[in-house]
Structure 1
């Protein structure tokens, strides 16, 4: 299956704009597990608007220190670690890069909005909560959001015995304005073939060698992309050569997995994989995702066991009601 080409969203074209080096107006927040920093959360990046400015997690590491995220990569500069982003929100591109236009293809347009941090609700070593606004290019608010993140230590069984790891928990509520429906779309819903229904919660991984992806019943990009498997795992190697495994769960109703390994390593929960999704005026779309971050290359049994009980969530939905 073909991945979205860099030329179609275009690293070379992106470099014609302002300097790409990321800076932040506010120091990144940190997430710790047992005193070990496992992730930094950049809440207010100063980026070219065409890169889809939004809060993101990077760098994210295993407890052993292996890097497992990438940000501002040359092939897709707008890929920012682990983040929430959608390419078509009532016609505004909050993903970054070129916009896919039906019967035309990827096109540079002045349609880029941003997802802006507007205030902290909680800021603890292992837990963060804040408020956000999803804005169109004029600054008008498309959606408001409440988001919680937490880092939790977990223990599973790997090939060599007991395996310490940690779990990212992401819980959010997207609220549409009282007077307007909000439509969420993707390149696929705008006419692009090839399983390119990306947009939602997306994790751009880093791997020094070809990554591999699998679920409990399928293996490889072709088989897993677009599926609704209960969980998906990606195995890669960090820049230091250390193997790692990421295990994702948390599809909502109608969501599908978006995965890439051929062009780059990435896993996402796609909101509008095959058809648009509408958040009705005044309504709320809630999401909850977990990602277990482990050292080592795990097999199917070990990856599935790391997730534990599907109901074992530290963050309750009542926390953002």
Structure 2
């Protein structure tokens, strides 16, 4: 099977023949308080299982599969309220920024039947001043069990150093995040919630939360599986994780702020697997070894 791209008003559709794989939203109309950002939603398995939740009622700024940064200098590139350690509460802020899509630099197919989506972004603060630029490269390939995703991104500060931070001690969420939605994940009861496991043998999202691992895999109550892979070239590898019953994400800021000097760059790489029939640990580990060698 081979994947194809179709550019649309919202962004780019990824198709497997006539079956949708994902929609990359780069031109969505979003409220400023949601910190507008490019996102994949919906994302499907080959058999059509929905993996993502897009703008759910409890967190409208959760937009499927996306990069979000709680504190980027003085800007909120995550969305919603900020957690204030001084008060111990979430409070409304007027510092929401934007991860603005500027232009696509590569929309093409690969020799393996996959697709590339490369684009340039600008990070804007609340005054719409650029304080960082980014080159983000996605690649999606069909494999015998489902789809293999790679993302590589390069972030450059503009006008001074860039400080990425997170304030809530129990979470420290920031970076690549997947908000999983029904029917893939449902955290209303233990029988319905997503089943998570990691490379270090921990089982359950509450046991993985705040711990380091090379990869985390989540099986949906309605079937299907998604795995997220860290890369040895990333800072603070192996990453700490932020996991909930319906959320899977890396937490590279869990051990403290990350400061990128003005004349430097931050490089990040992650992998994902989206399949219908859950893979065992050995199969996920083999995919990790393959990704780590790139």
Instruction: Give the distance between the partners of 2:210 and 2:79, measured in 1 at CA.
Output: 22
Instruction: Decide which of 109, 112, 123 is 2:96's aligned counterpart.
Output: 112
Residues 191-214 of structure 1, C-alpha deviations (whole Å, 9 max, x = no match)? x332x1101111111214201211
Asked if 1:303 corresponds to 2:284, the answer is: yes
User: Which residue matches 1:30?
Assistant: 13
CA contact 1:33–1:166 (8 Å) conserved in 2:
no
The count of residues paired between Structure 1 and Structure 2 equals 269
Asked if 1:102 corresponds to 2:85, the answer is: yes
User: Secondary structure in 2 aligned to 1:86?
Assistant: strand
User: Secondary structure in 2 aligned to 1:301?
Assistant: helix
Residues 9-52 of structure 1, C-alpha deviations (whole Å, 9 max, x = no match)? xxxxxxxxxxxxxxxx9332022456643111000211111111
Instruction: Decide which of 26, 34, 44 is 1:51's aligned counterpart.
Output: 34
Instruction: Give the distance between the partners of 2:259 and 2:9, measured in 1 at CA.
Output: 33
Instruction: Give the distance between the partners of 1:123 and 1:236, measured in 2 at CA.
Output: 31
Asked if 1:132 corresponds to 2:121, the answer is: yes
Change (3 A) 1:165 1:287: same
Deviation at 1:283, TM superposition (A): 1.0
Asked if 1:76 corresponds to 2:59, the answer is: yes
Deviation at 1:62, TM superposition (A): 0.5
User: Secondary structure in 1 aligned to 2:9?
Assistant: coil
User: Secondary structure in 2 aligned to 1:278?
Assistant: strand
User: Secondary structure in 1 aligned to 2:119?
Assistant: strand
Change (3 A) 1:308 1:63: farther
User: Which residue matches 1:214?
Assistant: 197
CA contact 2:196–2:219 (8 Å) conserved in 1:
yes
User: Secondary structure in 1 aligned to 2:63?
Assistant: coil
Give me the TM-score of the superposition, normalised by structure 2. Answer: 0.85
Unaligned runs of 5+ in 1: 1-24, 156-163, 314-321
Instruction: Decide which of 176, 181, 195 is 1:201's aligned counterpart.
Output: 176
CA contact 1:184–1:271 (8 Å) conserved in 2:
no
Deviation at 1:230, TM superposition (A): 1.3
- Give the alignment's Cα RMSD to 1 decimal: 1.9
Change (3 A) 1:306 1:283: closer
User: Which residue matches 1:9?
Assistant: none
Give me the TM-score of the superposition, normalised by structure 1. Answer: 0.79
Residues 139-191 of structure 1, C-alpha deviations (whole Å, 9 max, x = no match)? 01121000111111223xxxxxxxx21111111100012x401100113xxxx
User: Which residue matches 2:142?
Assistant: 153
User: Which residue matches 1:253?
Assistant: 235
User: Secondary structure in 2 aligned to 1:201?
Assistant: strand
Instruction: Give the distance between the partners of 1:26 and 1:307, measured in 2 at CA.
Output: 35
Instruction: Give the distance between the partners of 1:257 and 1:204, measured in 2 at CA.
Output: 17
User: Secondary structure in 1 aligned to 2:213?
Assistant: coil
Deviation at 1:266, TM superposition (A): 1.2
CA contact 2:35–2:79 (8 Å) conserved in 1:
yes
Deviation at 1:127, TM superposition (A): 1.1
Residues 116-145 of structure 1, C-alpha deviations (whole Å, 9 max, x = no match)? 001110113511111000110000112100
Deviation at 1:302, TM superposition (A): 3.7
Unaligned runs of 5+ in 2: 1-7, 110-114, 187-191
Deviation at 1:258, TM superposition (A): 2.7
